[in-house]
Amino acid sequence: MNPIKLDLSGVRSFLDEQPETLDKKVLKIHHMIHDRTGKGSGFLGWLDLPDSSDSQAFQQIKKIAADIRKHSDVLVVIGIGGSYLGAKAGLEFVKRPFSKTTPEIVFAGHQLSAPYLSGLMTYLDDKAYAINVISKSGTTTEPAVAFRVLKKHLENKVGRDEAARRIIATTDGQKGALHTLAKTNGYDMLVIPDDVGGRFSVLTAVGLLPMAVAGVDIDAVMKGAKEAFKQYGTPELADNPAYLYAATRHLLYQQGKKIELLVGYEPALTYFNEWWKQLFGESEGKEHRGLFVASAAFSTDLHSLGQYIQEGERHLFETTIHVNDPGADVIIDSEPDDLDELNYLAGKTVSHVNKQAMKGTMMAHQDGGVPNLLITIPALNAETFGHLVYFFEKACAMSAYLLGVNPFDQPGVEAYKTNMFALLGKTGDEHNIK
């Protein structure tokens, strides 16, 4: 049974052509993906990652995580883009609101803010901490700057040798500045497979080590991914929700919808949405094509973006993620004087109210001309996270190939770097590594 339910009833009436009509094209692309014959096919290593949970690399992640858990109060995870968002998304997805993990996981190197870095060092002054620096290329400026600064902070605090024992580098197995640095200083090293690109690397050490350190059950993450691996390995569009989702969003795009808004009604999904935006935005936005991907946290954003979605330009559609069992509930009590006029809700749960907010919103938005895809997931746990990650990765590959672009490169990301390096006076062409 598929734990993810895709409901297209809020979209079909908007479509001139139903997604099932793309079945032959989808079948062809399915074989192109699995036979590794499409554009960028050297980066399809993520396809088989769910099958790697008994690998040596997976055991090494668990061993290093157990070690960090023994000696650290905090793990600083340094990385950006695909080397940051997957772990952050997984932690937020699984964690109960207001709970603290031990060790605590904090992030750095995902921007260039000096107040952030300076505040982080003050925070770390009296903490026992370890660093996991993550960069596939090993040359990305934001994490490299943060690592240089934090490495010095740690060395000043515990000495060079002890610092080296507390630093774990997750990077390329052979090349890059971080690889050289880690080898030279004797850091523990976790390898990002050559054929797995940044935004598809959640199920490698990139996402799994920080999650394991925080106490997330990474066996469950891989179990969920493995179920997804089997389910979305089905070639036929009609039996494969990942392909149905991809085909539907493709048709909506062709019919003039330019923006897809991923919507969640649980704050735990906020960073999952960020991860999803990178996955689809970086994979599809090229050659002047592709949906612009955005996200919203409802019902919060109904009080800000809601007006636009209801009545603004009709160039968007929504994909709503509904969590069937959010994991905790609160009953609304009756009050004798009913001064807040809420007794009509007495005895109902907050989740029930949230669900009616979702239903009411979807109906209103559809009436206002916004197609709505609904994805229902069972719960906010590690298994569902692994499953949902793989669902979207598979859908993303299909969707980008339907669009006719290479899902696995990101040539446009270089433009700002070239300017920044010129402004900073960087010499040589070593930044052209990616």
Specify the 3-state DSSP secondary structure of 94: helix
Please confirm, yes or no, whether 236 is among the known catalytic residues. Answer: no
Q: Is position 81 an interface residue for ligand PA5 (rule: CB under 6 A)? A: yes
The site map against ligand PA5 for 99-138 (x = CB under 6 A) is ------------------------------------xxx-
* Token duo for residue 116: 């952030």
Between 136 and 387, CB nearer to ligand PA5: 136
Task: Say if CB 142 and CB 112 are below 8 A apart.
Answer: yes
Specify the 3-state DSSP secondary structure of 261: strand
Active-site entry in 288, 303, 313, 341: 303
For ligand PA5, how many residues bind (rule: CB under 6 A)? 14
CB of 83 to ligand PA5, least distance (A): 4
Q: Is position 198 an interface residue for ligand PA5 (rule: CB under 6 A)? A: yes
Between 103 and 197, CB nearer to ligand PA5: 197
- The region of 78-86, 112-120, 122-130, 256-264 touching ligand PA5 under the rule CB under 6 A is 78-86
CB of 4 to ligand PA5, least distance (A): 24
* Amino acid in the structure at residue 431: H
Residue 271 CB contacts under 8 Å (≥ 6 apart), including other chains: 85, 88, 89, 91, 92, 93
Between 3 and 81, CB nearer to ligand PA5: 81
CB of 286 to ligand PA5, least distance (A): 13
The site map against ligand PA5 for 343-382 (x = CB under 6 A) is ----------------------------------------
CB of 53 to ligand PA5, least distance (A): 22
Closest CA to 241 of 370, 402, 374, 94: 374
* Token duo for residue 293: 């991907």
Residue 409 half-sphere exposure toward CB, CA atoms < 13 A: 14
Residue 329 to residue 37: CA distance in whole angstroms: 48
Kindly report the backbone phi and psi dihedral angles of residue 214, in degrees, each rounded to the nearest multiple of 5, phi listed first. -75, -5
* Token duo for residue 183: 């080898």
CB of 339 to ligand PA5, least distance (A): 52
* Token duo for residue 236: 């036929």
Q: Is position 45 an interface residue for ligand PA5 (rule: CB under 6 A)? A: no
Active-site entry in 39, 286, 352, 417: 417
Residue 256 to residue 315: CA distance in whole angstroms: 6
Q: How far is CA 52 from its chain centroid? A: 20
Between 69 and 434, CB nearer to ligand PA5: 434
The site map against ligand PA5 for 274-313 (x = CB under 6 A) is --------x-------------------------------
CB of 415 to ligand PA5, least distance (A): 13
Q: Is position 80 an interface residue for ligand PA5 (rule: CB under 6 A)? A: yes
Residue 372 CB contacts under 8 Å (≥ 6 apart), including other chains: 10, 11, 317, 318, 319, 320, 362, 365, 366
Q: Residue 319's beta-bridge partner residues?
A: 262, 373
- Exactly one of 10, 19, 78, 83 binds ligand PA5 (CB under 6 A); that residue is 83
Please confirm, yes or no, whether 303 is among the known catalytic residues. Answer: yes
Residue 106 to residue 276: CA distance in whole angstroms: 21
Please confirm, yes or no, whether 34 is among the known catalytic residues. Answer: no
Which residue minimizes CB distance to ligand PA5? 198
Cα–Cα distances in Å, from 64 out to 100, 132, 189, 194, 214?
21, 11, 10, 21, 12
- Which residues of the chain form contacts with ligand PA5 (CB under 6 A)? 80-83, 135-137, 140, 143, 197-199, 282, 410
